[in-house]
Amino acid sequence: MKLLSKRNGYFLFAILATAFFYSKDGDITTSVYATGAAFALPLALAAMVGIMCERTGIVNIGIEGTMLLSAFVAFFVSSLTQNIIIGLICAVFTGSMMGLILAVMAVSWRMDQIIAGTILNILATGLTSFLYVQGKTIPSVFQAIEVPVLSKIPFFGPVLFIHGALTFIGIAIILALYVAIYHTSWGLRSRAVGEHPSSADTAGVSVARLRYINVTIAGGIGALAGAYLSLELVGSFERGFTAGKGFTALALMIFGRWNPLGALAAALFFGLAQAYANQLMIDQVVNIPTQFTAILPYVMTIVVLTISAGKVRPPAAEGQPYEKGQA
């Protein structure tokens, strides 16, 4: 690998910028980065949903809906049972079912996958708006855990090692997914199915089965992203709670070239940008209406996609239903 690659350039820039801010004000920089990491996690997890689906050739634009409905279920089941673990489990189940529904529509019924995903989004928006009740509370959120020793490291400790349980589970899932995609037979088969399904089929890999499995599991991961928002980061639920994060995640997936670590890096960048925007508002460094800082993530999504579009190469069989024997 070239030492002066574009990727290394990004990293170098990120490190230098961080060091510069840290040298100016250590405490604030640390807290901004910790917040940035917290903002980044749901985006990264949601991007994993997209990666798992698209690597096997299924376009999932229903991530937003999956997150929204799961966040809702997580919050209200936790509120009813006064137990956030039960809430979490029900959310993951809900998300998996959303994935399963997508698989039925996209794989078995060979529906247009954009329409199938839109159905999930409308379903989630409708259900959560209809069933929403004001004034509910949950006993507590997933409390921050301080990893012994590691959390005492300056800067890195608070940024990376003081988080709630769902964050650590999420990070583990992202790393595991990266390893699995490139180093296990499941990953090899998934990629083959997403690139050239008839090759996989003639090699004895069931295209439909693998697509069902991946899309369903991905739904569960999407649910984790939703539950993280309502049970760890915010601790409440409102209508339209996920605010387009599921769509932003699709952009991050593309920016990260369908690679889990790439998408994670992109998510961290976005999370940080948002955290900085918030900090600027708090500091009153710039005196602009909050609406403008609030649109920052969306503007960045558009800018980044515009810059990276055209250079990327999605899985070749993306969005195409597969029919056996059509070689």
Q: Of 135, 204, 289, 310, which lies in the binding site for other proteins, with binding defined by CB under 8 A?
A: 204
Nearer to other proteins, 205 or 305 (CB): 205
The CA distance from 183 to 148, in Å, is 31
Contacts with 11 (C-beta within 8 Å, 6 or more apart), sequence order: none
Tokens of 303: 């800018």
- Binding string to other proteins for residues 267 to 306, with x set by CB under 8 A, is what? ----------------------------------------
Q: Of 183, 286, 290, 312, which lies in the binding site for other proteins, with binding defined by CB under 8 A?
A: 183
189 contributes a contact to other proteins by CB under 8 A = yes
Nearer to other proteins, 249 or 253 (CB): 253
Cβ contact 304:251 at 8 Å: yes
Q: Footprint of other proteins on residues 150-179 (CB under 8 A)?
A: 179
100 contributes a contact to other proteins by CB under 8 A = no
Q: Of 202, 290, 299, 312, which lies in the binding site for other proteins, with binding defined by CB under 8 A?
A: 202
Q: Of 206, 236, 279, 308, which lies in the binding site for other proteins, with binding defined by CB under 8 A?
A: 206
- Nearest approach in angstroms of CB 326 to other proteins is 9
184 contributes a contact to other proteins by CB under 8 A = yes
Cβ contact 51:60 at 8 Å: no
Contacts with 133 (C-beta within 8 Å, 6 or more apart), sequence order: 76
Q: Footprint of other proteins on residues 308-327 (CB under 8 A)?
A: 313, 316, 324-325, 327
Total residues contacting other proteins (rule CB under 8 A)? Answer: 24
Q: Of 3, 133, 149, 203, which lies in the binding site for other proteins, with binding defined by CB under 8 A?
A: 203
Q: Which stretch binds other proteins (CB under 8 A): 89-97, 183-191, 247-255, 259-267?
A: 183-191
- Nearest approach in angstroms of CB 311 to other proteins is 15
- Nearest approach in angstroms of CB 48 to other proteins is 19
Tokens of 215: 């899309």
Q: What is the DSSP string of 238-272?
A: -TTTTTTHHHHHHHHHHHTTT-HHHHHHHHHHHHH
Q: Of 196, 281, 293, 318, which lies in the binding site for other proteins, with binding defined by CB under 8 A?
A: 196
User: What is the helix (H) or strand (E) element at residue 46, kind and residue range?
Assistant: helix 26-55
- Nearest approach in angstroms of CB 316 to other proteins is 7
Tokens of 263: 């998408």
205 contributes a contact to other proteins by CB under 8 A = yes
Burial 243-274 (b: 16+ CB within 10 A, else e): bebbbbbbbbbbbbbbbbbbbbbbbbbbbbbb
Question: Which residues face 163 on adjacent strands?
Answer: 145
Contacts with 256 (C-beta within 8 Å, 6 or more apart), sequence order: 47, 51, 262, 263, 264, 265, 266, 267
Tokens of 283: 């500091």
110 contributes a contact to other proteins by CB under 8 A = no
In the complex, the residues that contact other proteins under the rule CB under 8 A are 179, 183-185, 188-189, 191-192, 195-196, 198-206, 313, 316, 324-325, 327
